[in-house]
């Protein structure tokens, strides 16, 4: 009875602490939170410090529209913690939110949390410490590529190789998995955020129009394209003229955006090709059958699967619900925790 009660109050959770989005998976319940990794900060009454005004979706709605004393920040950058204090507060807020929703967790939970495979020991420690400071009793780390593969439903335990490419906001993770482990893993800091940045710079330099982050992301989602077959018409974009500071609009085509994105996409392709070059030959042979699976929000960029397929001569498929794969995979690793630890990183 006591055990059941403790279990009830301390349901363990898995967190996909992403650069763009944070998802929380609760054992037995699935994904119960999915919000932007954003925090709105306001100058406090003393004028010296800052207090948290809003977190997650509520903070995102303020993006680019705040008065001077309020700023919306993203405490994660390039897949790692850029602002330790704010990240800790954000994790605390999300844990409290799911606890309130489910009226659970008077005892701090076990947390499985993912990190990019390229993150340093110091960066991993920072993520772990954030979760501990947020109230976790025990924190386990899993590499994002592994979590993505598990969440995408790849046969990770099998002796046949699978390849996953997870394109998030901050990092693109390339992983080759066989027999429950990562045979090859690489992470580059070129992903969705870089594409937004490239779009912003292109529109400023070619059209003299300043746009905000939210508009750049919207352009990418609506008319962003990686391959001519996937071009998707035109879009009217509004912003501020760099010349006279007045509101201005321009119409941009999908093919123009494709041209602007090409260098960044080429870097992703290079990372994938490098993974193929460094994969042991027996496993390479498997990949000819199994192909490449794309996860993460970046997988939804129009034409990206076709572009990668043409560059590698392999079949490329987009996982079901690519934005949820890492969280699902972290959750499945959590479910395995009691029985074995094979999926977890050795970081302590
Ligand atoms: N339809 C779409 N087309 C192109 N990009 C998209 C689309 N939908 C979402 N994205 C992009 O996907 C990214 C977010 O993906 P995801 O939530 O997987 O990242 P994350 O896990 O937060 O980041 P990371 O794993 O790098 O820490 C954002 O850059 C977003 O703009
Ligand atoms: Mg991610």
Q: Mind listing the pLDDT tens digit for each residue in 290-324?
A: 999 999 999 999 999 999 999 999 999 999 999 99
Over residues 120-128, mean pLDDT: 89
In a domain, 60, yes or no: yes
Q: Please indicate whether residue 118, judged by its CB atom, sits closer than 6 Å to ligand 1.
A: no
- Is the CB of 329 inside a 6 Å radius of any atom of ligand 1? no
- For residue 130, being part of any structural domain is answered with yes
CB of 303 within 6 A of ligand 1: the answer is no
Same domain, 7 and 146: yes
Q: Is the CB of 191 inside a 6 Å radius of any atom of ligand 1?
A: yes
250 C-alpha to ligand 2 centroid (Å): 32
What integer pLDDT is reported at residue 277 of this predicted model? 96
Query: Which of 260, 284, 305 is where one domain is finished?
Result: 260
174, 90: one domain: no
From ligand 1's centre to the CA of 268, what distance in Å?
14
Q: Are residues 56 and 160 in the same domain?
A: no
The tally of domains found in the chain comes to 4
Which atom number of ligand 1 is nearest to the Cα of residue 295?
Answer: 18
205-237 residue pLDDT tens: 999 999 999 999 999 999 999 999 999 999 999
Q: Would you say residue 223 lies in a domain? A: yes
Query: Could you tell me the residue range of the domain that residue 344 belongs to?
Result: 1-33+84-151+323-348
Residues 92, 235, single domain; the answer is: no
Do 200 and 332 belong together in one domain?
A: no
In this prediction, residue 119 carries a pLDDT of: 84
Please check whether residues 167 and 302 belong to one and the same domain.
yes
Buried b / exposed e along 159-194 (16+ C-beta atoms within 10 A):
ebbbbbbbbbbbbbbbbbbbeeebbbbbbbbbbbbb
The protein residues having their C-beta less than 5 angstroms from ligand 2 (an ion) are 18, 168, 326
Ligand 2 midpoint to CA 115 (Å)? 9
* CA neighbor of 285 nearest in space, from 161, 201, 130, 167: 161
Ordered DSSP codes for 98-140? HHHHHT--SSPPEEEEEE-TT--HHHHHHHHHHHHHTT-SEEE
Adjacent-strand bridge partners of 114: 142
Whether 174 and 287 map to the same domain: the answer is yes
The ligand whose atoms approach the alpha carbon of 215 most closely is: 1
Looking at the domain assignment, is residue 79 inside a domain?
no
* Closest ligand 1 atom to Cα of 192: 29
Q: Is 203 in the same domain as 248?
A: yes
**Contacts made by residues 257-260, CB under 8 angstroms, sequence distance 24+:** 257/199, 257/202, 257/219, 257/220, 257/223, 257/224, 257/225, 258/224, 258/225, 258/226, 258/227, 258/228, 258/231, 258/303, 260/198, 260/199, 260/202
Residue 261 CA to ligand 1 centre (angstroms): 15
Q: Is 322 in the pocket of ligand 1 (CB under 6 A)?
A: no
pTM over 0.75: yes
Averaging pLDDT over each range in 79-83, 177-181, 263-267, which range is the top one?
A: 263-267
Last residue of a domain, one of 260, 292, 314: 260
- In this structure, is residue 135 part of a structural domain? yes
Q: Which residue is it, tokens 């959590």? A: 334
CA of 46 to the centre of ligand 1 (A): 37
pLDDT above 90 covers a percentage of the chain that reads 71
Residue 162: CB within 6 Å of ligand 1?
no
Task: Quote the crossing angle between the two packed helices 213-223 and 192-207, to the nearest 10°.
Answer: 100
Q: Which ligand is nearest to the CA of 324?
A: 1
Distance CA(140)–CA(212), nearest Å, equals: 37
Q: Which residues contact 219 (CB under 8 A, 6 or more apart)?
A: 199, 203, 211, 235, 237, 252, 257
In a domain, 218, yes or no: yes
Whether residue 28 is predicted with pLDDT greater than 70 in this model: the reply is: yes
- Are 116 and 197 in a shared domain? no
**Alpha-carbon Rg for the chain in angstroms:** 21
Determine if ligand 1 sits within 6 Å of the CB of residue 271.
no
Kind and range of the H or E run holding 9:
helix 2-9
CATH number of residue 93's parent domain: 3.30.420.40
Query: Which of 14, 148, 235, 297, when mutated, tests ligand 1's pocket best, judged by the most ligand atoms within 8 Å of its CB?
Result: 297
- pLDDT mean over 245-266: 97
* Domain co-membership, 89 together with 141: yes
Distance 274 CA to ligand 2 centre (A): 21
SS3 of residue 280 by DSSP: coil
Q: What is the rounded average pLDDT for all residues in the chain?
A: 90
Residues 145, 105, single domain; the answer is yes
- The answer to the question of residue 276 being in a domain is yes
The predicted pLDDT at position 2 comes to: 42
Q: Is residue 95 domain-shared with residue 108, that is, in the same domain?
A: yes
* pLDDT tier for residue 113 given thresholds of 50, 70 and 90: very high
């Amino acid at each position: 009875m006591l055990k059941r009660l403790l279990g009830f109050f301390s349901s363990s959770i898995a967190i996909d602490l992403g650069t763009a989005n944070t998802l929380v998976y609760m054992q037995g319940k699935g994904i119960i939170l999915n919000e932007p990794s954003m925090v709105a900060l306001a100058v406090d009454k003393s004028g010296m410090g800052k207090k948290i005004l809003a977190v997650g979706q509520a903070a995102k709605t303020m993006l680019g529209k705040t008065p001077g004393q309020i700023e919306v920040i993203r405490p994660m950058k390039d897949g790692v913690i850029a602002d330790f204090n704010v990240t800790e507060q954000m994790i605390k807020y999300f844990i409290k939110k799911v606890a309130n929703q489910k009226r659970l967790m008077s005892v701090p939970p076990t947390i499985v949390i993912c990190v990019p495979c390229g993150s340093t020991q110091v960066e991993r420690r920072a993520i772990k410490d954030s979760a501990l400071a947020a109230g976790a009793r025990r924190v386990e780390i899993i590499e994002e590529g592994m979590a993505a593969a598990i969440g995408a439903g790849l046969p990770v335990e099998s002796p046949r190789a699978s390849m996953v490419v997870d394109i998030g906001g901050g990092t693109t993770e390339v992983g080759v998995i066989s027999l429950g482990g990562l045979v090859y893993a690489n992470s580059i800091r070129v992903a969705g955020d870089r594409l937004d940045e490239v779009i912003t710079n292109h529109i400023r330099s070619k059209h003299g129009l300043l746009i905000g982050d939210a508009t750049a992301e919207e352009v990418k989602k609506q008319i962003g394209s990686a391959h001519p077959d996937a071009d998707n018409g035109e879009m009217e974009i509004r912003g501020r003229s760099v010349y006279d500071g007045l509101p201005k609009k321009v119409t941009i085509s999908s093919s123009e955006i494709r041209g602007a994105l090409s260098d960044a996409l080429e870097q992703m392709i290079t990372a994938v090709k490098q993974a193929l070059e460094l994969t042991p030959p027996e496993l390479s042979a498997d990949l000819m059958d199994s192909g490449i699976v794309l996860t993460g929000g970046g997988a939804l960029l129009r034409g990206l699967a076709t572009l990668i397929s043409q560059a590698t001569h392999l079949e490329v498929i987009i996982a079901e619900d690519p934005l949820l794969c890492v969280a699902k995979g972290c959750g499945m690793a959590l479910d395995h925790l009691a029985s074995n630890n094979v999926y977890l990183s050795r970081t302590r």
